[in-house]
Amino acid sequence: MKAVSSGKGKKAKTDSTEEIWNLRLYVAGQTPKSIAAFANLKKICEEHLAGKYRIEVIDLLKNPQLAKGDQIFAIPTLVRRLPPPIKKIIGDLANTERVLVGLDIRSVSGLV
């Protein structure tokens, strides 16, 4: 497992009153789709969740047994672990609009 925190991770930690978005990206090796997904995700997070997100990238080729826990069948899959409920988005996250809907970020950003 490779936990990748954003550059602003420290800042998020200090801000304890706000919810921290815990996101997991499941990949299988360094495929173009996985790389694209990670890049797309990071961009979206920076734009909408700056300072309060944390991304874990899990390479299933290295830890295949982790696929069961989050019911992963497609690659890449993004799982929103926090805040609940758990949400899943599969694909390379190229469609930002749908990612925002899928992660339910719009309302959050709207409030912020």
Partner 1 sequence: MVKTKHDVDVLEKCPTGIRGLDEITKGGLPRGRPTLICGSAGSGKTLFAMEFLMRGAMDYGEPGVFMTFEETPEDLAKNFISLGFDLPDMMSRGLIATDHVKIERNEVEETGEYDLEGLFIRLGDAIDSIGAKRVVLDTIEALFSGLSNATILRAELRRLFHWLKDRGVTAIATGESGDKMLTRYGLEEYVADCVIFLDFRIEEQISTRRLRIVKYRGSSHGSDEYPFLIDESGLSILPITSLGLDYPVSTEHIATGVPKLDTMLDGKGFYRGSTILVSGTSGTGKTSMSATFADAACRRGERCLYFAFEESPSQIIRNMSSIGMDLARWVKKGLLKFHSTRPSLYGLEMHLVTFRKAIEEFNPQVFIVDPISNLSAAGTASEVKSILTRLIDYLKMKKISTFLTDLTHFTGSLEHTSEEISFLIDTWILLRDIELNGERNRGLYILKCRGMAHSNQIQEFLLTNQGIGLIDIYTGSGEVLTGSARATQEAGEKASELARRREADRRLREQERKRNALETKIAALRAEFDVETEEVHLMAEEEQTRQAVQVEDRLDMAHLRKGKPSAVRQSARKRRGKGE
- Taking the C-alpha atoms of residue 90 and residue 70, their distance in angstroms, rounded to an integer, is 12
Residue 94 found at the interface with partner 1 (CB under 8 A) = yes
> For partner 1, which residue of 24, 25, 52, 91 counts as binding (CB under 8 A)?
91
Rule CB under 8 A: is residue 8 a binding residue for partner 1?
no
Residue 85 identity: P
Residue 91 CB coordination number (10 Å): 18
**Contact predicate 55/42, CB 8 Å:** yes
Whether 52 and 21 have beta carbons less than 8 Å apart is answered as yes
Structure-token pair, residue 112? 């912020």
Residue 63 C-beta: closest distance to partner 1, Å: 9
Residue 12 is a binding residue for partner 1 (CB under 8 A): no
Q: Which part of the chain contacts partner 1 (CB under 8 A), choosing from 5-13, 16-24, 49-57, 58-66?
A: 58-66
Residues found near partner 1 in the complex (CB under 8 A): 26, 28, 33, 36-37, 40, 60-61, 64-65, 67-68, 71-77, 86-95, 98-99, 101-102
